[in-house]
Amino acid sequence: ETITVQDLAARMAVRGAEVVKVLMKNGILATINQMLDADTAELVVAEFGHKVKRVSEADVEEGLEGAEDAPESLVPRPPIVTVMGHVDHGKTSLLDALRATDVAAKEAGGITQHIGAYQVDIGSGRPVTFIDTPGHAAFTAMRARGASVTDIVILVVAADDGVMPQTIEAISHAKAAKVPIVVAINKIDKPDANPERVKQELLNHDVVLEDYGGDVLGVPVSATKRINLDKLIEAVQLQAELLDLKANPNREAHGTIIEAKLDRGRGVVATVLVQRGTLRVGDIVVAGSQWGRVRALLNDRGQSVEEAGPAMPVEILGLDGVPEPGDLLVAVESEKRAREITEYRQRKRRDQAQVVATGARGSLEEMFSQLRSGETGELPVVVKSDVHGSLEAITAGLEKISTEEVKVRVLHGGVGAITESDVTLAAASKAVILGFNVRANAQAREMAKRDGVEIRYYSIIYELLDEVKGMLSGMLKPEA
Ligand code: GDP
């Protein structure tokens, strides 16, 4: 069995040049029309397994994606929101308060279950779905696994504290994922609250609220005193309208696992957010390397439901093993098909583990020599520095050395040691981390090694800039 580089790329929904790059990395020089044998193709596929979004590479997975939805089949769906912000600025309080605004939950006597996501309808008939795990760590970890679930980020900033380091991180993570931000200026009930200062500080991070001529919506709120929560929901809905979020509910279900656990009484319990189609009791589903027949569906109030459409969070019972957050869930036509896919995926996962274990990931130099053959004109970086002054000098310097063809994109710049958060961000965006007079902490180093993220250290600014300049010129496309 053989397949051309081009066909393989098409099946994985990646550019042919990317497959060529991966082959080069493995010492195989190939053109777009080259035939590859099954082993080589599988190697390529394994390499892409943890890099691209939905891999429908092998024959067993063929058709799993399903046909594209015709425009007329699409209907509006609720937005999916993640809450981010600095520690103690009120993320958890806000999620709790928002949840309490749900009309149906009130009617049900306020009985709520934590299933990792919930839906709120303030009575407008237009629900909003919230992911119940605040913070950017989970958000970016999911993204690194190829799952992009969040449509809108609510950035919580305490009005008595202002923009803090994790606020800046959250902004970077949301921007890197190209997810729009709605700002909740929280704790306005406090006597020392200063919402204007928050708005001004946000300007420094390119988050420009409407009052300042920008297009970012901001709402002053109090989570604990429940002030303006309806206005915040309205702002989210307004932002959602701009995004024109739609899905086709009339097809087999495709969704993402948000949480999963083994429950003593109930077996495997997983929370899924359906992204298109409708999930029903009795469906046979594949989630990552697990499969099962849906025995029951439970909504965020613990009630049993027959089906779940787009953006409605449900717990599903009936999987044979615990999937991982970020795994895609797809309804398939038969048990046989489900077995075939999961067996294949389990085998692939073992192979992948071996690839990583043998250290087959490329070094930065290799990456750039590969980029030369691609079309990427952007070098994403994360910059960490010991003091603000150097950080500013470096960011300004990086901007200056960008050219028309290739430019440096600073995903995040911060002061302090290189942390896991930086590594997750870099991994999800395939960026390089530049450390100036700072080191990576032990966990970050471990993670970087595991995820193949390159960290470079410098103590002289012009050396840093010189090296990056070298990287950029390496990225230049050869003249055709
Ligand atoms: P998180 O770390 O961002 O999840 O923050 P929490 O929700 O745990 O809140 C941190 C602290 O701020 C808690 O003591 C909350 O009671 C308090 N807090 C949260 N929101 C408000 C608010 O709107 N007003 C006041 N006064 N305190 C708040």
How would DSSP label each residue in 358-407? TT-PPPHHHHHHHHTTS---EEEEEEEESSHHHHHHHHHHHHHH--SS-E
- The answer, yes or no, to whether residue 142 has pLDDT greater than 90, is no
pLDDT for 382 equals 94
Question: 90 in ligand 1 pocket by Cβ < 6 Å?
Answer: yes
Q: Which amino acid is at 231?
A: K
Ligand 1 centroid to residue 93 C-alpha, Å: 6
- The answer, yes or no, to whether residue 141 has pLDDT greater than 70, is yes
List of E strands, 217-340: 217-220, 246-247, 254-263, 267-276, 279-280, 284-287, 290-298, 304-305, 307-308, 313-319, 328-332
90 is in an annotated binding site: yes
* Cβ neighbours for 144, distance < 8 A, ≥ 6 positions apart: 326, 424, 427, 428, 451
pTM for the predicted model, two decimal places: 0.73
Q: Give the nearest ligand 1 atom to 222 CA.
A: 23
pLDDT for 352 equals 58
Q: What is the CA radius of gyration of the chain?
A: 23
Ligand 1 centroid to residue 100 C-alpha, Å: 16
- The answer, yes or no, to whether residue 21 has pLDDT greater than 80, is yes
Q: CA 6 to CA 17: how far, in whole Å?
A: 9
pLDDT for 353 equals 54
* Cβ neighbours for 474, distance < 8 A, ≥ 6 positions apart: 368, 369, 371, 372
187 is in an annotated binding site: yes
How many H-runs (helices) and E-runs (strands) does the chain carry?
15, 23
- Helix-strand-coil split of the chain, %, nearest 5: 35, 25, 35
Q: Give the nearest ligand 1 atom to 89 CA.
A: 3
Residue pair 347/377 in contact (Cβ under 8 Å)? The answer is: no
Q: Which two tokens stand for residue 345?
A: 């995926």
- Tell the burial category of 454 from Cβ atoms under 10 Å away from its Cβ (0-12, 13-18, 19+): middle
Q: In which region does residue 283 sit, left (phi positive, over 0), alpha (psi from -120 to 50) or beta (all else)?
A: beta
Per-residue pLDDT band at 298 (split at 50, 70, 90)? very high
- Tell the burial category of 44 from Cβ atoms under 10 Å away from its Cβ (0-12, 13-18, 19+): buried
Ligand 1 centroid to residue 453 C-alpha, Å: 35
Residue pair 236/180 in contact (Cβ under 8 Å)? The answer is: no
Dihedrals phi, psi of 383, to nearest 5 degrees: -110, 125
Ligand 1 centroid to residue 443 C-alpha, Å: 28
Cα 31 to the center of its chain, rounded Å: 32
Ligand 1 centroid to residue 54 C-alpha, Å: 38
- Tell the burial category of 457 from Cβ atoms under 10 Å away from its Cβ (0-12, 13-18, 19+): middle
Residue pair 57/11 in contact (Cβ under 8 Å)? The answer is: yes
Ligand 1 centroid to residue 211 C-alpha, Å: 25
Residue pair 137/122 in contact (Cβ under 8 Å)? The answer is: no
Mean pLDDT is lowest, of 158-172, 204-218, 407-421, for 407-421
- The answer, yes or no, to whether residue 365 has pLDDT greater than 50, is no
87 is in an annotated binding site: yes
Positive/negative CA dihedral, 328, 330, 335, 337: negative
Question: 226 in ligand 1 pocket by Cβ < 6 Å?
Answer: no
Residue pair 118/96 in contact (Cβ under 8 Å)? The answer is: no
- Name the 3-class secondary structure at 132: coil
Residue pair 240/81 in contact (Cβ under 8 Å)? The answer is: no
Ligand 1 centroid to residue 157 C-alpha, Å: 11
Question: 376 in ligand 1 pocket by Cβ < 6 Å?
Answer: no
Tokens 């055709």 identify what position? 480
Question: 91 in ligand 1 pocket by Cβ < 6 Å?
Answer: yes
129 is in an annotated binding site: no
Ligand 1 centroid to residue 467 C-alpha, Å: 44
Residues β-bridged to residue 263: 267
Q: Where is mean pLDDT largest: 24-33, 309-318, 392-401? A: 309-318
pLDDT for 360 equals 35
Question: 136 in ligand 1 pocket by Cβ < 6 Å?
Answer: no
Per-residue pLDDT band at 108 (split at 50, 70, 90)? low
Residue pair 472/401 in contact (Cβ under 8 Å)? The answer is: yes
Q: Which two tokens stand for residue 299?
A: 């909504």
Q: Atom 18, ligand 1: which residue's CA is nearest?
A: 90
Cα 186 to the center of its chain, rounded Å: 25
Q: How many CB atoms lie within 10 A of CB 306?
A: 11
Q: Which of 326, 264, 251, 316 is nearest to 289 (CA)?
A: 326
ipTM of the complex: 0.99
188 is in an annotated binding site: yes
Mean pLDDT of the chain: 85
Of 88, 91, 166, the residue with max ligand 1 atoms within 8 A of its CB, to mutate for a pocket test, comes to 88
Longest Cα–Cα distance of the chain, Å, equals 72
Q: Atom 14, ligand 1: which residue's CA is nearest?
A: 88
Q: Give the nearest ligand 1 atom to 186 CA.
A: 23
Q: Atom 2, ligand 1: which residue's CA is nearest?
A: 88
Q: Which two tokens stand for residue 277?
A: 């189609």
Average pLDDT over residues 29-40: 80
pLDDT digits (tens, 9 = 90+) for 241-286: 999 999 999 999 999 999 999 988 899 999 999 999 999 999 999 9
Tokens 């390529």 identify what position? 44
Question: 392 in ligand 1 pocket by Cβ < 6 Å?
Answer: no
pLDDT for 242 equals 94
Residue pair 236/181 in contact (Cβ under 8 Å)? The answer is: no
Average pLDDT over residues 162-185: 94
pLDDT for 479 equals 44
127 is in an annotated binding site: no
